[in-house]
Amino acid sequence: MTKSLYVRVVLIFIVVIIVSIAVGFSVSGRLYMSRIKVSFEDELVRTGGEIIRNLETTTPDQVKAYMEQMVIFPAFRVELYDESMTRIYSLDDSEPEFANDKMLETVLNGGIARNNEEHDGPRGILIGLPLRIQDKPYALFLAPKLEGLLAQFRNVLLTVLGIVLFVGSVLILIASRYVVLPLHRLTRATRKLASGDFNVSIRSKRKDEIGQLTNSFNHMAEELGALDRMRVDFVNNVSHEFQSPLTSISGFSKALKSKRMDEDKRNHYLTIIEEESERLSRMGNNLLRLSSLQTGHPTLNPGKFRLDEQLRHVVIACEPQWKAKALRVELELEETTIVADEDLLNQVWTNLFHNAIKFTPESGHIRISLHHGGETASVVIADNGIGIPEEDHALIFTPFYKADKSRDAAVRGNGLGLSIAKRIVDLHNGEIAVFSVAGKGTEFTVSLPLSFAR
């Protein structure tokens, strides 16, 4: 039962109320105790003065009788002592004497005695006043009778506490339902989310922490829904990308087995099978690389190297491809030393440069520039190719996404290169941006810190 947040809130409220009341009475009692004692003492002195004025008009043998006939003080204890320190009068003779010898000596000698024990509280208030009857010293002691008053006060306090607890408990029961109800809705929605229903949403107009939690949940549900859709698209794309070369390999293999053909045609079929097999191998390697880069702790091996030399080597390595299309490659590279993972960055430049070659028409040109300033190096790879539509700019880094779908058959690729490039740049705390106009060309800008820090 106590595992319920609703019950816990109510119990905590009740405990807080009890502790608060106890602390409040304790603190207020200590703060006002001195005032209470002064007020009681003033009242005792005033009452004692009236008694003394009446007693001083009597004779010693009439004192006891006079006190018994005249004094009725239900709120005070009154005791009278003669010069021999003998109690000659008390409202209740069965009660013990509350004046000690030292106080009696003080009062009989004409002084005023007070009980100054602070820890005794109101119960310890005691006043001793001197008086003389026919030149004989007497001592009059007065103390408040607090038993009935304190009992009444306790009853009032318990009544107030009971009312506060009852009313507070009823109110907190109502208020707690208001607080806990949205949590129940969140719990039900979370169960739906766990079962795979990502269309769940909770309406809330609250602006407090519960409202913020609800908004965060709705945002999480939207993100998970988008992630699930991406997962489905990813699986579909992987299936499609693998199915195409497998179909080609299967078809040409059957043709080789079932048909008679000359050596040139046989070699042509074998070449296609070899190319499709290599395509499958590249796709598998890219998927493994992307999966490795997207894990929580990919392995990086940063080291110092010349970034401008690395870019030159990439251009030289791809020379057969860009020369086959009679492309003009312009280099504008500042001498730049960087600390990063050389192998991974080589993959970035290779992917971007290959894309530029694939989507640039024959006799086109590609420009690669490198500049550095402050703590950042900036690499720009620009071409005058087919460009990327503006609506596709935010999607080109998604795995298997191809902006120019009409060229899928003509331009080989599996849509993983840019995803891998972006992940590598992100791991180096850098940024990659694209600027492109359809039909006029594309420009990729990669910004990297000169000194990579994990």
Contact criterion met (CB below 8 Å) for 426 and 448: no
Contact criterion met (CB below 8 Å) for 436 and 443: yes
Contact criterion met (CB below 8 Å) for 127 and 44: yes
Res. 136: pLDDT tops 80 = yes
Q: 36-89 pLDDT, tens per residue?
A: 677 777 778 888 888 888 888 788 777 777 777 765 556 677 888 888 888 888
For residue 126, give the nearest of 63, 52, 48, 71 by alpha carbon: 48
347-366: average pLDDT: 89
Res. 104: pLDDT tops 50 = yes
Q: In the chain, which residues fall in CATH 3.30.450.160?
A: 5-149
Percent of the chain scoring above 90 in pLDDT: 11
Res. 363: pLDDT tops 80 = yes
> Which is it for strands 431-437 and 441-449: parallel, antiparallel or unpaired?
antiparallel
Residue 447: its pLDDT value, please?
Answer: 93
Which of the listed ranges 21-30, 206-215, 269-278, 347-356 does the model predict with the highest average pLDDT? 347-356
Res. 281: pLDDT tops 80 = no
CATH for 296-449, options being 3.40.190.10, 3.40.50.300, 3.30.365.10, 3.30.565.10 = 3.30.565.10
145-165: average pLDDT: 71
Residue 408: its pLDDT value, please?
Answer: 43
Contact criterion met (CB below 8 Å) for 367 and 378: no
Contact criterion met (CB below 8 Å) for 337 and 305: yes
For residue 369, give the nearest of 331, 337, 338 by alpha carbon: 331
The span from the CA of 382 to the CA of 443, in Å, is 4
* Least confidently predicted of 81-85, 131-135, 406-410: 406-410
Res. 219: pLDDT tops 90 = no
Residue 121: its pLDDT value, please?
Answer: 45
What are phi and psi for residue 93, nearest 5 degrees?
A: -65, -15
Q: 298-318 pLDDT, tens per residue?
A: 667 888 999 999 999 989 888
| Number of C-beta neighbours around residue 232 at 10 A | 10
Close Cβ partners of 77 (under 8 Å, ≥ 6 residues apart): 90, 91, 92, 95, 98, 142, 143, 144, 145
User: DSSP string of 201-214?
Assistant: -------SHHHHHH
Q: What is the CATH number of domain 209-291?
A: 1.10.287.130
Specify the DSSP class assigned to residue 60: G
How far does Cα 196 stand from its chain's mean position?
26
The residues facing 368 across adjacent strands are: 331, 381
Residue 337: its pLDDT value, please?
Answer: 92
Class of domain 5-149: alpha beta
Q: In the chain, which residues fall in CATH 1.10.287.130?
A: 209-291
Mean pLDDT of all residues belonging to the chain: 78
Residue 238: its pLDDT value, please?
Answer: 63
Angle, in degrees to the nearest 10, between helices 342-358 and 417-427: 150
Which pTM was predicted? 0.47
Residue 71: its pLDDT value, please?
Answer: 53
Amino acid residing at 156: V
Strands (E), 155-239: none
Res. 118: pLDDT tops 80 = no
Residue 407: its pLDDT value, please?
Answer: 41
**Tally of residues, the chain:** 454
Percent of the chain scoring above 70 in pLDDT: 78
The span from the CA of 46 to the CA of 53, in Å, is 11
Q: Token pair of 42, please?
A: 């003033």
Per DSSP, the chain holds a count of helices (H) and strands (E) of 10, 12
Long-range contacts, 117-120 (Cβ 8 Å, 24+) = 118/33
431-437: average pLDDT: 88
3-state secondary structure of 436: strand
Residue 308: its pLDDT value, please?
Answer: 93
The span from the CA of 286 to the CA of 275, in Å, is 16
Residue 147: its pLDDT value, please?
Answer: 60
* Least confidently predicted of 181-190, 266-275, 285-294: 285-294
Res. 421: pLDDT tops 70 = yes
3-state secondary structure of 23: helix
Q: Token pair of 110, please?
A: 């004409």
Res. 416: pLDDT tops 80 = no
30-40: average pLDDT: 70
| Number of C-beta neighbours around residue 349 at 10 A | 22
Q: In the chain, which residues fall in CATH 3.30.565.10?
A: 296-449
Residue 443: its pLDDT value, please?
Answer: 92
444's enclosing H/E stretch is strand 441-449
